[in-house]
A and B are shown apart, each in its own frame.
Chain A
Amino acid sequence: MSDHNHDELIPVPDIRLGPKATSVERVSGVIGALGLLLCVAAYFANRQEFFQSYLFAFIYWSGFAIGGIGVLLMGNTVGGIWCVTSRRFLEAKMRTLPIVFLFFLVLLLGLKDIYPWTHPDLVAHSPYLHQRQPYLNVPFFIARIVLYFAIWLFWGMRLYRMSDRQDATGDPTLRERMRAFSAPGLLIFVLTATFAYFDWILSADAQYYSTVYGAMILIGDVLQTFALTILVMVLASRGDRFGGRINYSVLHDLGNLMFAFTIFWTYLTASQLIITWPANLPQELQWYLDRVHGFWKWMAAFVALTMFAIPFLALLSQARKRDPQRLIRVAIWLLVARLVDIFWIVMPTFRDLSPSAPLATSKGFTIYWTDFAAFFGLGGIWIYVYLRQLRRRPLLPLRDPRVSPPMPEVLA
C-alpha cells in the first residue's frame, strides 16, 4: 500500500520564468511604450475619442487584475489543487492592481468625455441622471474607486505575504488561515467589483440600469482570467520543466472551470436579454437597440457565437481539456472573443446616437485609431508588469502540500 504522505516527500522544484518570457516582456514593454506615445498624440488630437477608447482598453486589461484577485479568493475559499498550482499566476495578476490604479488615475482626466453625469446641463434635463446625482458625482466617484482598490490591495497583499511566508517556513497553519481570510474577502470583493463596474461602464449610459449587469461583467472577468492563466501556465511549462506537476489532471480542472464560467457568463448575458427584450421598456431597451443598430448587430452575433457556441462545443470534449496544445487554442480564442465582447458592451454608448448616449462621437459603428493606441498601450504595459511580477517568485508554491503531485504521464 502506498504511503499517505508520499507526495510531500518529493520537493517542489523552484522553477522560474524562462528566457523566452524575458523577450516577450521586452517586446510588450516596447509595444506598450509606443502605444502610450500614440495615446499622448491621441489625447491632443481628439480628446473625447481618445478617452472613450481608453475606457474600453482599461476595462479589458483591468479585468485580468480584478479577475485574478477574484479567482484567488474563490480558489482559497473552496479549495482544490487547481488553485494551489495556479496560485502564482493568479497572484501575479493581482499584483498588477497598482498599475491598473495608475491607469485609472489617467481616466480621471477624461471624466467629462465619458460620463454624462459630469455635465450639469445634461443632468438638469434628464430625470434619471438627476435621480442618480447623490451617487454619481465626481468626489464620491473617486472616493469609491479608491476604496475599492484599497480593499482589493489589502486582501491581495495579505494573501501574497502569507503565500511568501508559506514558501519560507512551510507553516502548515497558513493554509487554514488563508482560507479563513479569503472567505469574507470573496464576499466583499464581489460587492466592490460589482459597484466598480456600475461606476466605470454602466454609469456612462444616461438611462440604462440592470441588476445583473455587475455580475455579468465580473463573471466575464473570471472567464478571461482562467483563459490567460491556462495559456501562461502551459507556455511556462513547455518542455516539461515542472516535472509533471502541471499535468493533464490540473489542466482538466482548469478547463472545466473555464467551461463552467463560459456557461455561467452566457447564462447571465442571455437572461438579461430574455428579460429586457420582451418587456420593451424604453429606458432599458435602448441599451440593446444601440447594440443591434447597424454593424453592431453583426458584432452581437459574433459575440454570441465566439463567447458561447464555439467554446462551449470545444470544451465539451474531455480530450481537448486534457491536451495542453488544444486547450490553449480555446484559451486564446476566448481572450480574443472577450475583447470583442467588451468592445460591444462599452463602445455603443459612445458610437451610436440615442437618448442613452448623449456623449457619442459617431452615429453608428466606427473604429478609430485611438482604439488601437489605447489597447496596445495599456496592454503592452500590463503584460510587461504581469510578467515582471511572475518572474519574481518560484512558479509553484514550494511548501503547500496540496500543490499538484507529479504525474508519470507528462505533457507531450
Chain B
Amino acid sequence: MATPENLKVSELPEIPDPGADEILGPGHNYATVTERIGGIVYTPWKRWPGKWWIGAIISFIFVNLLMTAMYVLFFRGIGTWGVNIPIGWGFAIINFVWWIGIGHAGTLISAILFLLRQDWRTSINRFSEAMTLFAVACAGMFPILHLGRPWLAYWLFPYPNSMWLWPQPRSPLEWDVFAVSTYGTVSLVFWYCGLIPDLASMRDMAPHPWQQRIYGILSLGWRGSAIHWHRYQKAYLLLAGLSTPLVLSVHTIVSFDFAISIIPGWHTTIFPPYFVAGAIYSGFAMVLTLIIPLRSWYNMRDLITLRHIDAAAKFMLGTGLIVAYGYSMEAFMSWYSGDPYEKFMYWNRITGPYGFTYVLLILCNIALPQSLWSRRVRHNIGLVWVLSLIVNVGMWLERFVIVVTSLHRDFLPSSWGIYIPTKWDWATYTGTLGFFMLLIFLFVRLLPSISIFEVREVVHHIAHPREVYTEKQL
C-alpha cells in the first residue's frame, strides 16, 4: 500500500474516462479504491489543488457577506428587504424553496435508487447526500430570518408555555417546520450511517495519531466484522425505506404552503407532484454542477464516469418533462376554468411586468434542456455542465415566477404592487451560496467524498458479474 506521502492529486497523470458503459475505470482493486478516495483527504496542504484554495476563499468572502447581511437585518429589521404588501413573500421564500429543492437529489439518489438497485448511484451518493445536508441548512435559514424576530423561532414548536400560546396546526407553514426538520434529521442520520465503514477505513490509513483518533471516534468502533456488516446492511435498508417517503413529503408540504391558499397561481392541484419533480430536477442539476468540476480537479474520471453523468442527465431530462407537464396543465386549466382571476393571472404572468422572467423560465427549464435527448449532448461534459447551470437558474426563476407574479396583482387592482429585491436580498442569497460552497469545499477536504466501501463492492461485482445482490438486499 502506498503511503500518503507519494499521493499527489495535482501531479498525477490524467486518468481517462472509461466511457458511458462503465461505472468504474479499469485496473481497480480494493486497495487502489481505498487509496484513491481516502488519499485525497490525506493529501498534505501544499499538494492540494490551487483551485480549491481559490474557490474556498471566494466562498469564505461570501459567507462574510451573509454575516453582514444578517447583521443589518437583525439591526434594522425586515424593511431592509424588498418585501412589501402585497408581496409579503419575496426572496426569503423563493430561496427557501430553491434550496430545499436542491436538497432532494441526495436522498433520492441514496434511498430510492438504492431500493431500485441502480448501479450508477454508488460513486455519487455520498457527495449528493452531503450536498443535501448543506442545502437544507441554507434553506432552513430563510424562514427563520424572515420571522423578523429570529430569536423567537422556537415558538414554531408546540410546547406547553406560560403564555398558553400554540402554533396554528391548520397552517401548512407549521407543517413545514416538521417536514423540514424531520427531513434534515433523517438525511443526517442516513449520511452518517453510510459514512461509518469509510470513517473506519480513514482511521486505518491515517498517517498521524490525532487523525487516527478523530476518525476512530467518529467510526463508532467499526471493525468490519461479518456481524457488523450484517447489522449495518439491515439498518441501511431500513433507513433507505424511511427516507423514501420523506423525499416526497417535504416538497409536497412546501407546495401546500402555496396551494392551500386561494391565490390564483398558487391554488392548483398539480402543485405537489410538480414541486417534487422540480425539486429532483434542480437537485440533479446541482449534483452535475458540482461533480463535473470535482472529478476533473481530483482526477477522478475513472470513479465518476460518463455513465454517471449520462444517467444523471437523463434523470434531469425526465423530471424536467414532468415539470413541463405541470406548466402546461396550469396554463390550460387557467383558461379552461372560466375563472376570470385565474385567466388574468396566467396572462399577467406572461405579459405583465415580470413577463421576462416567465420567458426566461420556459427557456431555461423547458426549451434548452430538450437538447439532452441527444446522446451527443449528454456525452459532451462541458455542455452538460452548462445545461446544469441553466437548469439551476431556471428552477430559481420558477420559484420567483410562482411567488412574485401570483402575489403582485391579486383580486383588487387597487392593491397591486411591484417587488424589487434590494441589495440586502441579494447579499443574503449570494451569501448562502457562499456558505453552501464553503461547506462543500470543507467536506471534500475532510471526508471521503465518494463511498469507499460501495465502490469496493462495485469492484467485486465487476470481478464476479453473475453474483447479484443477496436475497436480503432485495
Check: B456 CB closer than 8 A to any chain A CB.
Answer: no
A210 to B329, CA, bound (A): 9
Contacts of A187 in B (CB 8 A): 321
- Does A214 reach chain B (CB closer than 8 Å)? yes
Name 26 interchain pairs, CB-CB below 8 A, sorted by A.
A1-B464, A1-B466, A6-B466, A129-B338, A183-B373, A187-B321, A209-B336, A209-B338, A211-B271, A211-B330, A211-B333, A212-B272, A215-B325, A215-B329, A252-B474, A267-B248, A267-B273, A271-B252, A271-B269, A271-B273, A275-B256, A275-B259, A275-B271, A275-B272, A279-B261, A283-B337
Residues A190 and B325 in contact in the complex (CB < 8 Å), given A211-B268, A272-B269, A281-B262? yes
Of chain B, the residue at the smallest CB distance from A214 is B329
- CA distance in complex: A127, B342 (Å): 14
The verdict on A276 contacting chain B, using a C-beta distance below 8 Å, is yes
Within 8 A of A (CB), among B318-348: 321, 325-326, 328-330, 333, 335-339
Chain A residues with a Cβ under 8 A of chain B: 1-2, 4, 6, 127-132, 135, 183-184, 187, 190-191, 194, 198, 209-215, 252, 267-268, 271-272, 274-276, 278-279, 281, 283
Judge whether B465 is part of the interface by a CB distance below 8 angstroms: yes
Interchain CB contact (< 8 A) of A191 among B170, B271, B325: B325
5 closest A-B pairs (Cβ-Cβ)? A131-B338, A211-B270, A128-B338, A212-B269, A271-B272
Instruction: Tell whether B260 is near chain A: CB-to-CB under 8 Å.
Output: yes
Q: How far is the CA of A275 from the CA of B270 in the complex (A)?
A: 10
> Does B267 make an interface contact (CB < 8 A)?
yes
Asked whether, in the complex, the Cβ of A283 is within 8 Å of the Cβ of B339, the reply is: yes
Known: A274-B256, A275-B267. A132 touches B338 (CB 8 A): yes
Contacts of A4 in B (CB 8 A): 465-466
Complex Cα spacing A1 to B338, Å = 68
In the complex, A283→B328 CA distance in Å?
21
Q: Whole-angstrom distance from the CB of A196 to the nearest CB of chain B? A: 14
Given contacts A128-B337, A131-B338, A212-B273, contact A275 B260 (CB under 8 A): yes
- Assess the A130–B338 pair: CB atoms within 8 A: yes
* Residues of A with C-beta under 8 A to B248: 267
Please measure, in the bound complex, the distance between the C-alpha atom of A85 and the C-alpha atom of B466, giving whole angstroms: 20
- Asked whether B170 lies within 8 Å of A278 as measured between CB atoms, the reply is yes
Whole-angstrom distance between the alpha carbons of A198 and B333 in the complex?
A: 10
In the complex, chain B residues whose CB is within 8 Å of the CB of A198 = 336
Give the complex CA separation of A199 and B326 in angstroms.
Answer: 18
**Which residues of B lie under 8 Å from residue A135 when comparing CB positions?**
336
Report the nearest B residue to A271, measured CB to CB.
B272
Residue of A nearest to B115 (CB): A256
**Closest residue on chain A to residue B337 by CB atoms:** A209
Q: Which residues of B contact A130 (CB under 8 A)?
A: 338
* Prevailing SS type, chain A contact patch: helix
The one of A128, A129, A213 that contacts B269, using a Cβ cutoff of 8 Å: A213
Q: Mark B8-21, 1 if CB is under 8 A from A, else 0.
A: 00000000000000
Task: Considering the complex, give the chain A residue whose CB is closest to the CB of B260.
Answer: A278
Q: Which residues of A contact B272 (CB under 8 A)?
A: 212, 267-268, 271, 275
Further pairs besides A132-B336, A212-B269, A279-B262: 9, Cβ < 8 Å = A4-B465, A128-B338, A129-B338, A194-B329, A215-B270, A215-B329, A271-B252, A271-B272, A279-B261
How many angstroms from the CA of A194 to the CA of B333 in the assembled complex? 12
Chain B residues lying within 8 Å of A128, measured Cβ to Cβ, are 337-338
Cα distance A132–B267 when bound, in Å? 20
Interface residues in chain B, defined as those with a beta carbon under 8 Å from any beta carbon in chain A:
170, 248, 252, 256, 259-262, 267-273, 321, 325-326, 328-330, 333, 335-339, 373, 464-466, 474
Which A residues lie within 8 Å of B252 (CB)? 267, 271
- Which residues on B sit within 8 Å (CB–CB) of A275? 256, 259-260, 267-269, 271-272
Among the listed A2, A209, A271, A272, which residue makes an inter-chain contact with B333, where contact means beta carbons less than 8 Å apart? A209
Measured in the bound complex, the distance between the Cα atoms of B259 and A279 in whole Å is 9
B338 cross-chain contacts in A, Cβ below 8 A: 127-132, 209
Q: Give the distance in Å from the alpha carbon of A131 to the alpha carbon of B343 in the complex.
A: 11
CA distance A128 to B326 in the complex (A): 22
Complex alpha-carbon distance, A215 and B274, angstroms: 11
Whether A279 touches B260, Cβ cut-off 8 Å, given contacts A127-B338, A209-B336, A211-B330, is yes
B260 CB → nearest A CB, Å: 5
Residues of A within 8 A of B339 (CB): 283
In the assembled complex, the Cα of A214 lies from the Cα of B336 at a distance in Å of 14
Contact (Cβ within 8 A) A2 B260 = no
Q: What is the chain A residue whose CB lies nearest that of B248?
A: A267
In this complex, what residue of A is CB-closest to B262?
A279
- Find the residue from B256, B273, B321 having the highest chain A CB count within 10 A: B273
Closest chain A residue to B245, Cβ basis: A263
Which residues in B have their C-beta under 8 angstroms from that of A278?
A: 170, 260
Contacting pair B328 A191 (CB below 8 A): yes
CB <8 Å contact, B333 and A210: yes
Tell me the smallest distance from the CB of B339 to a CB of chain A, in Å: 7
Q: Return chain B residues, CB-CB under 8 Å to A283.
A: 337, 339
User: Do A2 and B466 touch across chains, with their CB atoms under 8 A apart?
Assistant: yes
CB contact between A212 and one of B262, B270, B328, B337 (< 8 Å): that residue: B270
Across-interface contacts of A268 in B (CB, < 8 A): 272-273
Q: Which residues from B are CB-within-8-Å of A252? A: 474
Residues on A with beta carbons closer than 8 Å to the beta carbon of B330: 211
Query: What A residues does B271 contact at CB under 8 A?
Result: 211, 271, 275
A43 to B339, CA, bound (A): 37
- Closest B residue, CB atoms, query A210: B269
A267 to B271, CA, bound (A): 12
Distance between B256 CB and nearest chain A CB, rounded to angstroms: 7
Provide the bound-state CA to CA distance between A283 and B341, in Å: 13
List of A residues within 8 angstroms of B328 by Cβ: 191
Residues from chain A with a CB closer than 8 A to the CB of B465 are: 4
Residues of chain B within 8 A of A272, CB atoms compared: 269
Q: Which residues of B contact A214 (CB under 8 A)?
A: 329
- Residue of B262, B269, B333, B338 with most chain A CB atoms under a 10 A cut-off: B269
CA distance A196 to B311 in the complex (A): 32
- Please give, as numbers and ranges, the residues of chain A lying within 8 Å of B170 by CB-CB distance: 278
Of the candidates A198, A210, A211, the one having the most CB atoms from chain B within 10 angstroms of its own CB is: A211
**Residue among B170, B248, B337 facing the most chain A CB atoms (10 A cut-off):** B337
Nearest-CB residue, chain A, relative to B325: A190
Q: B466 to A276, Cβ gap below 8 A?
A: no
CB neighbours of A131 from chain B (8 A): 335-338
Question: Whole-angstrom distance between the alpha carbons of A214 and B325 in the complex?
Answer: 11
* Cα A128 to Cα B260 with chains together (Å): 23
A268 vs B273: C-alpha distance when bound (angstroms): 7
Complex: A210 Cα to B259 Cα, angstroms:
12
> Within 8 Å CB of A281, what residues of B?
262, 267
Closest chain-A Cβ to B377's Cβ sits at a distance in Å of 15
Contacts of B474 in A (CB 8 A): 252
Shortest Cβ gap from B370 to chain A (Å):
10
Cβ of B262: which chain A residues have Cβ within 8 Å of it? 279, 281
Would A279 and B466 count as touching, CB distance under 8 A? Answer: no
Contacts of A127 in B (CB 8 A): 338
User: Shortest beta-carbon distance, A389 to chain B, in Å?
Assistant: 30
Inter-chain CA distance A281–B341, complex, in Å, is 13
CB distance from B160 to the nearest CB of A (A): 27
A264 to B252, CA, bound (A): 13
Contact (Cβ within 8 A) B256 A211: no
A206 to chain B, nearest CB (A): 10
A215 to B321, CA, bound (A): 14
Q: Which residues of chain A are near B337, meaning CB under 8 Å?
A: 128, 131, 209, 283
